[in-house]
Structure 1
Amino acid sequence: MTEYGRGPGSEPWHPEDPLYGDQGWGGQQSAHGQSQYGGQQQPYPHDPYAQQQPQQPQQPQQPQQPQDPYAQQHYQQQPGYGVPQDPYAQQPQQPQQPQYDNGGWGTGQQPAAMPYDAQPAADAYGGGQGGYGETQDFYGTQEAYPPPQPPGRREAAPQQAPAESPDWDPETQPEETHPFFTGADDRDDNDPDDEGEDDSRASRRSGRGGSERRGKGKKKSRSGCACLVVSLVLVGGLGGVGYFGYSYWKDKFGAAPDYAGKGTGEVEVEIEKGALGYAIGNILKEKGVVKSVDAFVSAQNENPKGNSIQAGVYLLREKMSAAEAVKMMVDPNSQNLLVIPEGFRNVAVYEMVDKKLGLKKGTTKDIAKSDASELGLPDWASKNKDIKDPLEGFLFPAAYPVTKETKPESLLKKMVSRSNEEYEKLDLEGTAKKYKLDGPWEVLTVASLVQAEGLTHDDFRKMAEVAYNRLKADNVATNRKLQFDSAFNYLKNQSKIKIGSGEILSNPDPYNTYYHAGLPPGPISNPGDEALRATLSPTSDGWMFFISLDGKKTDFTKTAAEHEKLNDKFKEQHGLG
């Protein structure tokens, strides 16, 4: 049994503090280099400070004084730190304490048959009579719990195991000591250490430690159960991770829900302008055409023409596969659209609307005439009373979605709105100033003439130059008359190539450019984008005349003589005198 709480000096136990001097871990240590017994300078065998700390001066050896077995000294008997002894205290003689091996510390095992003196020590202040009375020595019995080991000696090597441990085998690895695996809480009823269990727990909680028991012990049945529980937990965890991983993969990378086949019935779906993949997919899903948006987007990306889907109304089917839906939408025949060709006059457009919407002939024309001012014409549109149709030139050539519920006025309003959008992209005002025209309205009128007379893009640019050259004030070849047959055909609502000279030269209608100089009151058709841009960027080669001999090709000339040769040839081919 180790010296627990005993210092090398002869200081008495402090009667008013039962834990006087009890600090740090449990066992009392002397200063470095000073033995706990006998005042000899003897460092601990494995003391890391033994060679680093200066040695304390050796104290003169004093006669061994009996000490209270329970006195716990905090200060060593060194200059300035000692506690003076009571010179009047009676100190009974005690037998010499046995010396321990290994520098004053044992191996953690209590030597057999070395108990403390059974007689209690006398009170230094009371002499055992009155005063503070006597205190029982709890370390005076063989059942006393052994004091803790110093920190540097707690992990005793297997080779230092006491001889009285017959089961210790240096070749055997120590068993797991964690309570979860060893079942340390299941104590044996016959374990002699149970009596000191409370003290052991208290010392372990306060950091005082306690020696660990090594060697072969009884295998607890709980270790097998613990391994089984751990295995089940691991297997369950892996299974859960796998399930959620598969779910995540399926959501992110798995095939999207989709219908199979070409579907049934007929569904009318309108795609608004600017709608793209996911927006189109949402519309189709709401209409019951496709099963999921992701399926449609995937099919659209896989189809080479998938990105060509435009705004419009499509006639599709219910519950069709996404691939079939994309295939139908890229086919123009599946779109329920009203397509207005370039150069069509308004009268032709009105007839197309009536036919598309299943209306009585003339319905759209009457609405256009009565509601013209409410359909969104720009401010620069002319209010000339000679204009035959205020909407002429504002029913822009394009494809317009049509449903069964579409009304003529709403469709006309869309056409006017589209015209405004396209005209805003062009510098009509700047072009008017450049060619000395009266604002955007006259530029639009020139574009309508170019669209009606020209056949190709090159024709458009040359035709625009002819118009600008004939409108010049110094034009003596035609005296500022345009002389376009297309304008005369407009007022007659016809499309003729052969027009008699007597008829065309005698008609005083404001739209007859053979009769009147300058431009007609307004546009004569709805020009397309090419004709509009050609009007803004004409050629500058000096073209003044043009004629088409076969209706497929236009010949341009710069002088009246060249034009007369082609004109004679034309009369000869068509039998005109």
Structure 2
Amino acid sequence: MTEYGRGQGSEPWHPQDPLYGDGGWEGQQAHVGRQSGYGGQPQQHYPQPHQPQYGAWSHEQQSGYDGQQYPYHEGQSQPAYDQQFVGQSQQHFHQGAWDGTGTHGPVPYAADPGDPHNQQPVAYGEQPDLYGTEDAYPPPVPPGRRRPEPEPQPEPGADEEEHAFFPGGGADGDAGEEEHELQSRRERRGKGRKPVKSRKGRTGCACMVVVLVFGGGLGGVGYFGYKFYQNRFGAAPDYAGSGNGQHVTVTINKGDGGWAIGQKLKDAGVVESAAAFVSALQANPKGKALQDGVYTMEKEMSAASAVELMLSPKSRSNLIIAEGRRNVEIYGLIDKRLEVPAGTTARVAKKEYKHLGLPSWALNHPNLKDPLEGFLYPSSYGVTKGQKPEAVLKNMVAQATAKYQELGLEKKAQTLGLDGPWQLLTVASLVQAEGTSHDDFRKMAEVVYNRLEPGNPQTAGRLEFDSTYNYVKNQSKLDLSITELRRYDNPYNTYFSKGLPPGPIDNPGEDALRGALNPTDDGWYYFISMDGKTSKFTRTLEEHNKLVEEWNASRKKN
């Protein structure tokens, strides 16, 4: 073993040494400033001739551990462990004795008889001993017990770092492999790392962006929150007063709700917002009575004023179709409302009836007086000047078709012994024409169904309704001669022809339709109206004739 593996002195390092294997170099070192030899013994001086070449080693004097030689020439670097040792002390010191003064002297060493390898260290120039000063470094650790130095952690904010054992470095020839390796690690660790100032600048910009985005988001949320609050809870925009005198016409369709009506009024310039109209409509006790139709309004009205005007009859310009009206009457009403020549709508109906929206089951029936009869459904319609007759008729037909589908005419006709919905609609028109009250309609429907039976014992399949004759004659007479009725040859005259007429004779309302769908089953065959308001029903002709006599007697008194 060479001098690098043991302490100062001439004794070899061997297992019998009392400090072999313990913490001698780490735990048994003398205190700073105390000059002692190995194990606390006084240092011995071995004279050695001075080497003429300072800092250089000969081939024979260089040896490694375990007898391995590491030859190198002058100017080459020493082995890594020697360089580390040199770096730790930052001084070139010589392996050997101390001079008792705390400095290395140029005293030549004599051969050490206890050195089995007879290796002589090279004497260095006279240098101060730093082990006794404040800047002293701990003595070197034997190679076998050396541990790799832990990588130092960079101080926060430091751009460059220095290893504690390599404060200044030295010449290129003095830099060791380990120092190069540590330096390489520092360079790899610091590669791509930007100065602290740049990171702070980048962080500041990022913070500013976050603040701007967050602030903008809060602003947007606040704005939309305000709009939501205004729409939900704030007062809706509204005009003041009862209008500016400029009139407009607004058509409200059946089924339109408050919001739809308010939107139409807003679009026409009547109210400022639909929300204001809805609020005023809900606040008015009569608001639920608002009906569809055509209304004449003024622009820039307050919502409350608009509601009041629409609830007033003077604002409505609707065309009201009553139950049981015949088409010929309705055509005349449409002409007047549209301000067109009389007969215009009737000619359009006759020419265009197949293109007005009739269902398939209402087409191609023979001997009809008017193919649209029964399809101008009784209701309120917005009809104003400027509209086309076709548009008005289409609206009425559409409403009738929807109602008939809703009531199920097509599905229930066969259960009542009828050929289809067309016959059921015809029955309803008869019920509507002959009934004098809503309570009569179910009984009247039973009379129709009973008389339609070909083998019935009372009428032999004839209906004998005065209303069918009046329809053909386009009249509404009550005093009709039986002789006249039986002689008039016409498919609609049920006194002359058996069964139902070719088609409806008026436009029945919902009550008459429901009566035809759900007749009574009490055996009624006859009926008579004694006062023109109510009807009396009987099962036999004898009972019926008695009522006829009473009615004739009452007429003579008057």
Shorter-chain-normalised TM-score: which range? 0.5 to 0.7
User: Does structure 1 residue 463 correspond to structure 2 residue 444?
Assistant: yes
User: Does structure 1 residue 295 correspond to structure 2 residue 291?
Assistant: no
Aligned equivalent of 1:398, options 357, 373, 379:
379
- Please report how far the alpha carbon of residue 305 of structure 1 lies from its aligned counterpart in structure 2 after TM superposition: 3.8
User: Does structure 1 residue 334 correspond to structure 2 residue 315?
Assistant: yes
User: Does structure 1 residue 257 correspond to structure 2 residue 237?
Assistant: yes
The one-letter code of the counterpart of 1:477 is Q
CA deviations on 1:308-365 (whole Å, 9 max, x unpaired) are: 5444322111000011122223445423321111100011101111111112221111
Q: Which residue of 2 aligns with 1:120?
A: none
Going from structure 1 to structure 2, the CA distance change for 1:336 and 1:66 (only over 3 Å counts) comes to: farther
- Please report how far the alpha carbon of residue 279 of structure 1 lies from its aligned counterpart in structure 2 after TM superposition: 3.2
CA deviations on 1:420-446 (whole Å, 9 max, x unpaired) are: 111112332444323322221111111
Going from structure 1 to structure 2, the CA distance change for 1:126 and 1:534 (only over 3 Å counts) comes to: farther
Going from structure 1 to structure 2, the CA distance change for 1:413 and 1:89 (only over 3 Å counts) comes to: farther
The one-letter code of the counterpart of 1:473 is P
- Please report how far the alpha carbon of residue 573 of structure 1 lies from its aligned counterpart in structure 2 after TM superposition: 2.0
**Given the two structures, how large is their TM-score scaled by the length of structure 2?**
0.61
Aligned equivalent of 2:258, options 277, 282, 291:
277
Report which stretch shifted further, 285-294 or 273-282: 273-282
- Please report how far the alpha carbon of residue 512 of structure 1 lies from its aligned counterpart in structure 2 after TM superposition: 1.4
User: Does structure 1 residue 319 correspond to structure 2 residue 286?
Assistant: no
The one-letter code of the counterpart of 1:362 is G
Paired residues of 2:354 and 2:363 also in contact (CA < 8 A): no
- Please report how far the alpha carbon of residue 88 of structure 1 lies from its aligned counterpart in structure 2 after TM superposition: 1.7
The one-letter code of the counterpart of 2:30 is P
Q: Which residue of 2 aligns with 1:408?
A: 389
Q: Which runs of 5+ in 2 are unaligned?
A: 1-5, 9-22, 35-83, 103-121, 137-154, 163-214
Paired residues of 1:65 and 1:94 also in contact (CA < 8 A): no
- Please report how far the alpha carbon of residue 403 of structure 1 lies from its aligned counterpart in structure 2 after TM superposition: 2.9
Within 2, Cα distance between the matches of 1:357 and 1:447?
30
Within 2, Cα distance between the matches of 1:548 and 1:93?
154
The one-letter code of the counterpart of 1:427 is G
Larger Cα-atom Rg? 2
The one-letter code of the counterpart of 1:488 is Y
Aligned equivalent of 1:542, options 512, 516, 523:
523
The one-letter code of the counterpart of 1:299 is A
- Please report how far the alpha carbon of residue 270 of structure 1 lies from its aligned counterpart in structure 2 after TM superposition: 2.2
Q: Which residue of 1 aligns with 2:13?
A: none
Q: Which residue of 2 aligns with 1:267?
A: 248
Q: Which residue of 2 aligns with 1:17?
A: none
Which structure 2 residues correspond to residues 360-379 of structure 1 after superposition, within 5 A? 360-379=341-360
Within 1, Cα distance between the matches of 2:461 and 2:385?
49
User: Does structure 1 residue 560 correspond to structure 2 residue 531?
Assistant: no
Within 2, Cα distance between the matches of 1:350 and 1:302?
39
Aligned equivalent of 2:324, options 314, 329, 343:
343
Find the residue that maps to 1:505 and give its secondary structure. helix
Within 1, Cα distance between the matches of 2:361 and 2:467?
24
Q: Which residue of 1 aligns with 2:95?
A: 88
Within 1, Cα distance between the matches of 2:256 and 2:365?
40
User: Does structure 1 residue 421 correspond to structure 2 residue 402?
Assistant: yes
Paired residues of 1:289 and 1:317 also in contact (CA < 8 A): yes
**How many residues get paired?**
390
The one-letter code of the counterpart of 1:487 is T
Report which stretch shifted further, 308-317 or 563-572: 308-317
Q: Which residue of 1 aligns with 2:510?
A: 529
The one-letter code of the counterpart of 1:379 is S
Within 1, Cα distance between the matches of 2:279 and 2:327?
42
- Please report how far the alpha carbon of residue 307 of structure 1 lies from its aligned counterpart in structure 2 after TM superposition: 4.7
Paired residues of 1:284 and 1:290 also in contact (CA < 8 A): yes
Q: Which residue of 1 aligns with 2:31?
A: 64
The one-letter code of the counterpart of 1:449 is L
Q: Which runs of 5+ in 1 are unaligned?
A: 1-9, 13-55, 68-82, 96-124, 141-198, 207-236
The one-letter code of the counterpart of 2:31 is Q
The one-letter code of the counterpart of 2:242 is K
Q: Which has the higher helix share?
A: 2
The one-letter code of the counterpart of 1:88 is Q
Within 1, Cα distance between the matches of 2:314 and 2:234?
33
Paired residues of 1:90 and 1:127 also in contact (CA < 8 A): no
Within 2, Cα distance between the matches of 1:524 and 1:476?
26
Within 2, Cα distance between the matches of 1:356 and 1:200?
93
- Please report how far the alpha carbon of residue 62 of structure 1 lies from its aligned counterpart in structure 2 after TM superposition: 4.5
Within 1, Cα distance between the matches of 2:521 and 2:24?
120
Going from structure 1 to structure 2, the CA distance change for 1:386 and 1:297 (only over 3 Å counts) comes to: same
Within 1, Cα distance between the matches of 2:402 and 2:541?
40
Within 2, Cα distance between the matches of 1:559 and 1:282?
60
Going from structure 1 to structure 2, the CA distance change for 1:202 and 1:266 (only over 3 Å counts) comes to: same
Q: Which residue of 1 aligns with 2:470?
A: 489
Going from structure 1 to structure 2, the CA distance change for 1:421 and 1:93 (only over 3 Å counts) comes to: farther
Paired residues of 2:281 and 2:304 also in contact (CA < 8 A): yes
The one-letter code of the counterpart of 1:262 is S
Q: Which residue of 1 aligns with 2:364?
A: 383
Paired residues of 1:313 and 1:403 also in contact (CA < 8 A): yes
Q: Which residue of 2 aligns with 1:509?
A: 490
The one-letter code of the counterpart of 1:529 is E
CA deviations on 1:46-101 (whole Å, 9 max, x unpaired) are: xxxxxxxxxx999875432449xxxxxxxxxxxxxxx9998826778899xxxxxx
- Please report how far the alpha carbon of residue 251 of structure 1 lies from its aligned counterpart in structure 2 after TM superposition: 5.9
The one-letter code of the counterpart of 1:468 is Y
Within 2, Cα distance between the matches of 1:368 and 1:302?
44
